[in-house]
Amino acid sequence: MSLKIDQDHSRFRAIVRGKIRQNLRRYISQGELIGRKGKDLVSIPIPQIDIPRFVYGDKQRGGVGQGKGDVGDPVGGQEQEGDDGQGHAGQDAGEHNLEVDVTLDELADILGEELELPAIENKGKNRIVSAKDRYTGIRRVGPDSLKHFKRTYKEALRRSVASGVYNPKDPIIVPQHDDRRFRSWKEDVEPVANAVIIYMMDVSGSMGDEQKEIVRIESFWIDTWLRRQYQGLESRYIIHDAVAREVDRDTFFRTRESGGTMISSAYKLCGQLIDQHYPSSEWNIYPFHFSDGDNWSMDDTLSCIELLKTDILTRVNMFAYGQVESPYGSGQFVKDLREHFSEDERVVTSEIRDRDAIVGSIKDFLGKGK
Amino acid sequence: MPISPNQADLPRYLLVEQEKIEAIGRRYGLDFFPVVFQMLSYDQMNEIAAYGGFPNRYPHWRFGMEYERLSKSYEYGLSKIYEMVINNNPSYAYLLEGNSLTDQKLVMCHVLGHVDFFKNNFSFRSTDLDAGEPITDPVRKRGGEYDPNRRWIDKMANHGAAVRRIVDRYGIARVEQFVDTCLSLENLVDPWSRFVRRRRDEVVEEEPTAVEVPRLRSKDYMEEFINPEEYIEEQKKKIEEAREKKKGRHPASREQDVLLFLIENAPLERWERALLSIVRDEAYYFAPQMETKIMNEGWASYWHSKMMTSDVCDWSEIVDYAENNAGVMVTSGGRLNPYKLGVELYRSVEDRWNRGQFGPEWEDCNDLDQKRHWDLRLGLGQQKIFEVRALYNDVTFIDEFLTEDFALEHQLFSFGWSNRNERFEIDSREFKNVKERLLSQLTNFGNPFIYVEDANFENRGELLLVHDHRGVDLRGDYANETLAALVRIWRRPVNLATLSDGKKTLLRFDGKEHSSRADAP
């Protein structure tokens, strides 16, 4: 059944994607793609367009809350109405981002669903199999270590209310044998597949902080998605200007050099890494390279292409190149790649204009299910 | 999805429950419009919720936005809408397919509370479509059964049809853009205008009457000291000047219903005027709900909890009910939950009136111990809360019944932005501060007070609005955008006099450029 709302919804999507009503795009609250990471709390962006009105400025405003805490203690987030889903359909202006507890696995699923990403075809190296227990059900017998406290309590409470023993003034609940509930599990057999992502980034002078932030956000999502697809995913990081070296994750996003750019240096190092650590018969390999598209010379670009053809492409699942737009870069490199590899499905290129383009670019990279 | 007036789509066992619950409600003295329950699947529920509860609204992208938010929250398991009820006579309420029977009963009880509130709370009288204007006595029961015309479902559907006709003629892009402009001004209404005669019939003064300065009463021999001649002269001059200034002034006095003023005075095309009127009508429809959020939710929660625990649930359901109820009442993360605050306030009022904890004797009593054991066994609690639900709105409800003890017991605090730590922090637990903050937040729905001051500002046909600054500045970028929206309607430059960082400021938009200057009138 098609819903009446569909038309309104598709117009809203069109506004969000910038197809119509460009003037409204200004008010889209930029769902920061990664809210707070750590403790598995991730914010999911649901774009909201706020129609401007005469309203009070936020900061002088404050509000009233309820709960413990001393003067000077922080309050969790801004004042908001408890949006517990019950009650009237609100006429209140919408809250902006929803910030939600989801595990990274769920997040990856959501991402996959949102972008309609296909599950990745494994390269057929599933000789190794591992069994994993998943706790999904409840049963009435089991070891104490698996006792489900909340369910047991609920059963006990139910029994004591029903049998008239429950005393609201002294609400002590003593679970009996029949009240006990236990978690139960089933065994999932999963093939183990090894995968490695090799991130390469141009850190020459022309890559600014904003460009790096884009790479950081994008690589977070790529990580999340691939981790969902492969247990035991490894990541390696290579930075380069005129020379390349391997670094840890933190350095990868912080380093800024001022030198020139020779992309081939990174590709060489990438090839060596694969040689030494990741035999292609056992590993799914994903090199991702980000730069602003400036290379030192045409010669170097040609040697990059040569390296890709002979050394890298034969051994990897796909090779991804993301070009972040910067005010300094010429943006030539992506054109060269496209010229030479337009027929080759293993090379995926994507241009990332700004933060808004990240989502589209993730789809470019991961949309093929390689 | 057409709403059918018969209840055929509600399963029989639920109809039986509805009858039972309504009988229980009546026994407690609830007085509600007929209620039509409809069972919806979750995507239908999300659709109707996105349309603010109405199955037929005019087309607009923001409903699509709301739909996306609701359906995503549902899919990701963040929240689901259990129930929805619309202020209509008969009232329509929706049940979510697949909820447990206990949940459905809970929703039915809750809905009855809302519908009783819609029917009896004075502020909802402004949604009577058959009331003559203005409603100067919203409390008085009209003779016989009170059965007002609140066919808002039809009215909203008519709005939808009207807008679709306009869309056919002018195209969705143009219409939607204009609706956006109107929505920018949606909150510039006068919540009390339905209850007060704002505009006196203009007395045309042919000959200005002589200026009479009111004098203080005095004995003859004191007259020249109490009402000195120079002072009287001075006042006379002032009044004359003010009169002179007002001459030919439009509007005669400042008006808070900016939307109405624009509908009557702005150079709009016919279809534009129609759209602006629709936006205004709907803003007034939703106003009472915003004005009584805490009371309304509190009342419905009070009744669902009373009816479920004393009459409706059997022992096998009570635990599930309690778990669910706890989820609705939860106050986590320091947030104020209107359901919880409302229901606790009603309970506190009921308890106080049962024990006679009110009136001058109670107020004057300073003996803490005596107060604690104060019980006159008056048993007026039920009567009082029914009275409160009819005569108050959130502001007066909080003002009158939120006591210091209550604030203490429920650990209320006020918070504000800390510049030093760049975060919101608890700034006080003092009763006075907390209450003031809460009241100011609710006053005028938390919207700034904006008035039309002059439609011919500086004799150039410009519009002058005045912001009655009550301690909080406007948000600057939004104010500028809203001025731009006003210019699209007024088609001449628009000015807004406000305060910014304590300084008088006149914001102006002339259609091309925003400017601000310091010499605000």
pLDDT in tens, A185-198: 887 776 666 788 89
Q: Which amino acid is at A189?
A: V
Q: In B, residues 440-499, which contact A (CB 8 Å cutoff)?
A: 441, 446-448, 450, 467, 471-479, 481-482, 485
Q: How confident is the model at residue A19 (pLDDT cuts 50, 70, 90)?
A: low
Nearest C-alpha in B relative to A114:
B72
* Dihedral pair phi/psi, residue B466, rounded to 5°: -125, 130
Nearest C-alpha in B relative to A93:
B66
pLDDT of B521 reads 62
pLDDT of A79 reads 36
Residue B14, pLDDT > 50, answer yes
Average pLDDT rounded to a whole number, residues B501-515: 90
* Dihedral pair phi/psi, residue A205, rounded to 5°: -55, -30
Please answer yes or no on whether B437 and A102 come within 8 Å at the CB atom. Answer: no
pLDDT of A97 reads 36
pLDDT of B78 reads 62
Point out the least confidently predicted range of A33-42, A142-151, B172-181, B293-302.
A33-42
Which of B40, B46, B68 best tests the A interface by mutation, with the highest count of A CBs <10 A? Answer: B68
Average pLDDT rounded to a whole number, residues B256-264: 93
Interaxial angle between packed helices B476-490 and B172-184, expressed in degrees from 0 to 180 and rounded to the nearest 10: 120
Please answer yes or no on whether A7 and B44 come within 8 Å at the CB atom. Answer: no
Rounded Cα distance, A236 and A234, in Å: 7
- Please report residues of A whose CB lies closer than 8 A to that of B474: 54-57
Please answer yes or no on whether A67 and B411 come within 8 Å at the CB atom. Answer: yes
Q: How confident is the model at residue B23 (pLDDT cuts 50, 70, 90)?
A: very high
**How close does chain B come to A20, measured CA to CA in Å?**
9
Tokens of B398: 């909080």
Residue A277, pLDDT > 70, answer yes
Q: How confident is the model at residue A208 (pLDDT cuts 50, 70, 90)?
A: confident
Q: Which amino acid is at B108?
A: M
**Average pLDDT over all residues of chain A:** 76
Point out the least confidently predicted range of A249-263, B153-167, B227-241, B288-302.
A249-263
Tokens of A237: 């990081």
Give the SS3 label for residue B83: strand
**How close does chain A come to B51, measured CA to CA in Å?**
8
**How close does chain B come to A143, measured CA to CA in Å?**
26
Rounded Cα distance, B370 and B354, in Å: 16
* Dihedral pair phi/psi, residue B7, rounded to 5°: -105, 30
Q: How confident is the model at residue B373 (pLDDT cuts 50, 70, 90)?
A: confident
pLDDT tens readout for residues A166-178: 888 888 888 888 8
- Please report residues of A whose CB lies closer than 8 A to that of B429: 71
B50 touches A at CB < 8 Å: yes
Rounded Cα distance, B115 and B107, in Å: 12
Q: How many beta-carbon pairs below 8 A join chains A and B?
A: 275
Q: First-to-last CA distance in chain A?
A: 35
Nearest C-alpha in B relative to A52:
B478
Q: Which of B56, B68, B479 sits opposite A9 (nearest CB)?
A: B68
Beta-ladder partners of A350: A322
Residue A84, pLDDT > 80, answer no
**Average pLDDT over all residues of chain B:** 86
Report which DSSP code applies to A144: G
pLDDT of B188 reads 93
The H or E element spanning position A200 is strand A194-202
Tokens of B243: 């009169």
Residues B340/B150, Cβ–Cβ less than 8 Å: no
**How close does chain B come to A50, measured CA to CA in Å?**
9
pLDDT tens readout for residues B418-441: 777 777 788 888 899 899 888 988
Residue A34, pLDDT > 50, answer no
Please answer yes or no on whether B81 and A89 come within 8 Å at the CB atom. Answer: yes
Which of A12, A58, A88, A113 best tests the B interface by mutation, with the highest count of B CBs <10 A? Answer: A88
Q: Where are the beta strands (DSSP E) in A212-265?
A: 233-240, 244-247
Residue A125, pLDDT > 60, answer no
**How close does chain A come to B168, measured CA to CA in Å?**
15
- Please report residues of B whose CB lies closer than 8 A to that of A54: 187-188, 447-448, 450, 467, 474, 478-479, 482
Residues A44/A31, Cβ–Cβ less than 8 Å: yes
Please answer yes or no on whether A80 and B83 come within 8 Å at the CB atom. Answer: no
Distances (CA, A) of A175 to A155, A180, A181, B396: 8, 7, 10, 47
Residue B185, pLDDT > 90, answer yes
Please answer yes or no on whether A73 and B425 come within 8 Å at the CB atom. Answer: yes
Please answer yes or no on whether A64 and B437 come within 8 Å at the CB atom. Answer: yes
* Apex A106 CA angle, A16 and A93, nearest 5: 40
Q: Which of A209-213, A343-347, B348-352 has the highest mean pLDDT?
A: B348-352
- Please report residues of B whose CB lies closer than 8 A to that of A68: 411
Residue of higher predicted confidence among A13 and A100? A13
The H or E element spanning position A307 is helix A298-307
Radius of gyration of chain A (CA): 26
Q: Where are the beta strands (DSSP E) in A302-360?
A: 319-324, 347-352
Residue of higher predicted confidence among A234 and A188? A234
Q: Which amino acid is at A275?
A: D
Q: Which of B56, B60, B335 sits opposite A65 (nearest CB)?
A: B335
Which residue carries 């889903």 as its tokens?
A85
Tokens of B424: 């919101």
pLDDT of B5 reads 43
Residue of higher predicted confidence among B359 and B3? B359
Radius of gyration of chain B (CA): 27
Residue of higher predicted confidence among A329 and B492? B492
Point out the least confidently predicted range of A125-129, A160-164, A339-343.
A125-129
Please answer yes or no on whether B473 and A15 come within 8 Å at the CB atom. Answer: no
Which residue carries 């991702």 as its tokens?
A288
Q: How confident is the model at residue B364 (pLDDT cuts 50, 70, 90)?
A: confident
* Dihedral pair phi/psi, residue B134, rounded to 5°: -85, 165
pLDDT of B261 reads 93
Residue A41, pLDDT > 60, answer no
- Please report residues of B whose CB lies closer than 8 A to that of A108: none
Long-range Cβ contacts of B18-24 (<8 Å, 24+ apart): B18/B108, B20/B312, B21/B105, B21/B108, B21/B109, B21/B112, B21/B307, B21/B312, B22/B112, B24/B307, B24/B311, B24/B312
Beta-ladder partners of B499: B504
Q: How many CB atoms lie within 10 A of CB A144?
A: 7
In terms of DSSP H, where are the helices of B126-269?
152-170, 172-184, 223-226, 229-246, 258-265
DSSP output for A14-81: HHHTTSS-GGGGGGB----SS---STTEEEEP---BPPP-S-B-STTT-EEEES---TT-B-SSS---
Distances (CA, A) of B107 to A132, B6, B230, B298: 41, 20, 71, 14
Contacts (Cβ under 8 Å, ≥6 apart) of B223: none
Q: Which of B328, B411, B414 sits opposite A86 (nearest CB)?
A: B328
Residue A210, pLDDT > 70, answer yes
**How close does chain B come to A261, measured CA to CA in Å?**
40
pLDDT of A235 reads 86
Q: How confident is the model at residue A358 (pLDDT cuts 50, 70, 90)?
A: confident
Average pLDDT rounded to a whole number, residues B473-499: 92
- Please report residues of A whose CB lies closer than 8 A to that of B95: none
Q: How confident is the model at residue B465 (pLDDT cuts 50, 70, 90)?
A: very high
Average pLDDT rounded to a whole number, residues A95-110: 55
Rounded Cα distance, A352 and A361, in Å: 6
Point out the least confidently predicted range of A175-189, A351-365, B269-283.
A351-365
Q: Which amino acid is at A198?
A: I
Q: Which amino acid is at B158?
A: N
Residue A145, pLDDT > 60, answer yes
pLDDT of A180 reads 92
* Apex B192 CA angle, B140 and B145, nearest 5: 25
Average pLDDT rounded to a whole number, residues B279-294: 92
Please answer yes or no on whether A5 and B50 come within 8 Å at the CB atom. Answer: yes
Q: How confident is the model at residue B106 (pLDDT cuts 50, 70, 90)?
A: very high
Residue of higher predicted confidence among B4 and A154? A154
According to DSSP, the β-strands at B462-468 and B494-500 are parallel
Distances (CA, A) of A305 to A248, A350, B429, B441, B515: 26, 17, 68, 64, 55
Rounded Cα distance, A153 and A133, in Å: 25
Tokens of B155: 């009215």
Q: In B, residues 104-133, which contact A (CB 8 Å cutoff)?
A: 110, 114
Residue B343, pLDDT > 80, answer yes
Average pLDDT rounded to a whole number, residues A109-131: 63
- Please report residues of A whose CB lies closer than 8 A to that of B53: 88-89
Predicted-complex ipTM score: 0.82
**How close does chain B come to A117, measured CA to CA in Å?**
17
